[in-house]
């Protein structure tokens, strides 16, 4: 399920960025054209993968009880129905009330709402400063790698009999 989820996330998010026109300029046209398809394939992988994982899942097989599997499916669907209904309802009401702006116009108002920005907002950029962006980027990458390696070392260092 993790594999299906990972593939679905990558496809879905790339598709979303493409469909919304948020890709870098040279890829933007491809994004508009293929983004929605990537998004659809991502969703398909997620749903299909979910069904495959639950059909072939070890829990159901080990328990050997079909009713357990049916119960789980019903409860899973019930959970999804509750959440989709609730947030779908909220979304519908927000749209209907006219307060929901998914576009870009509203974001400019905050710069002129009478709350003065910091002086750094008017500071002219100097050459080379853009490279500072790599500091948080590197920090995220190093820490993510550090955690992943740490977890893998911990999992593979324990005796096979005790391994989960």
Partner 1 sequence: MFSSVEGSASRNFFYTAVLWMAIGMSFGLFAAVLLIFPDLVKGIPVLEYFTFGRVRPAHTNLVLFGWLSGAYFATLFYMIPRLCGTALWSERLGNFTVVLHNLLMTAYAVTLLLGMNAGREYAESPWVLKILTVVLFGLVFFNVIMTLANRKEKELYVTAWYMLGAVVTTPIIYVVGNQFLMPTNPITGVNDSVVNWFYGHNILGYWFTPIGVGAVYYLLPKLTGNPIWSHRLSMIGFWVIFFVYGPTGAHHLVNGPVPYWLQTVAIAFSVCLIVPVWTVLTNFYGTMNGRWGALKESVPLKFTVSAMVFYFITCFQGPMQSLRSVSAITHFTNWVVGHAHLALVGTFSFIMFATIYYALPRLVGREIWSAKLMDWHFWLSLIGFTLFFVSLTVGGLVQGSDWAANQSANFIASVINQRPFNIARAVGGAMILGAQFLFIFNIFKTATAGSRFTAGSAEAGSAVAGA
Site for partner 1 in 70-99 (CB under 8 A): 71-73, 75-76, 79, 83-84, 87, 91, 98-99
Contact residue for partner 1 among 9, 44, 47, 93 (CB under 8 A): 9
Residue number with CB closer to partner 1 (29 or 82): 82
Distance CA 34, CA 3 (A): 23
To partner 1, the closest distance from the beta carbon of 88 in angstroms equals: 9
To partner 1, the closest distance from the beta carbon of 86 in angstroms equals: 9
Stretch (H or E) spanning 87 = helix 66-97
Q: Are 12 and 46 in contact (CB under 8 A)?
A: yes
Distance CA 35, CA 132 (A): 31
Q: Which of 28, 26, 6 is nearest to 17 (CA)?
A: 28
Give the single-character DSSP code of 11.
Answer: H
Distance CA 77, CA 85 (A): 12
To partner 1, the closest distance from the beta carbon of 48 in angstroms equals: 14
Contact residue for partner 1 among 64, 67, 103, 160 (CB under 8 A): 103
To partner 1, the closest distance from the beta carbon of 34 in angstroms equals: 18
Q: How many residues bind partner 1 (CB under 8 A)?
A: 76
Q: Does 131 participate in binding partner 1 (rule CB under 8 A)?
A: yes
List the interface residues with partner 1, window 10-49 (CB under 8 A): 12-13, 16-17, 20, 22
Helix, strand or coil for residue 164? coil
């Amino acid at each position: 399920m993790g594999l299906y989820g990972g593939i679905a996330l990558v496809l879905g998010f790339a598709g979303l960025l493409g469909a919304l026109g948020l890709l870098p300029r040279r890829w933007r046209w491809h994004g508009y054209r293929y983004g929605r398809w990537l998004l659809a394939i991502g969703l398909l992988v997620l749903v299909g993968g979910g069904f495959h994982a639950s059909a072939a899942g070890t829990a159901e097989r080990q328990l050997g009880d079909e009713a357990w599997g049916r119960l789980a499916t019903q409860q899973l669907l019930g959970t999804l129905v509750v959440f989709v209904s609730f947030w779908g309802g909220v979304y519908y009401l927000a749209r209907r009330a006219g307060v929901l702006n998914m576009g870009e116009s509203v974001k400019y108002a905050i710069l002129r709402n009478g709350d003065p920005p910091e002086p750094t907002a008017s500071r002219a950029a100097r050459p080379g400063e853009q490279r500072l962006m790599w500091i948080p980027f590197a920090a995220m990458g190093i820490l993510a790698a550090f955690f992943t390696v740490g977890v893998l070392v911990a999992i593979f260092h324990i005796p096979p009999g005790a391994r989960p």
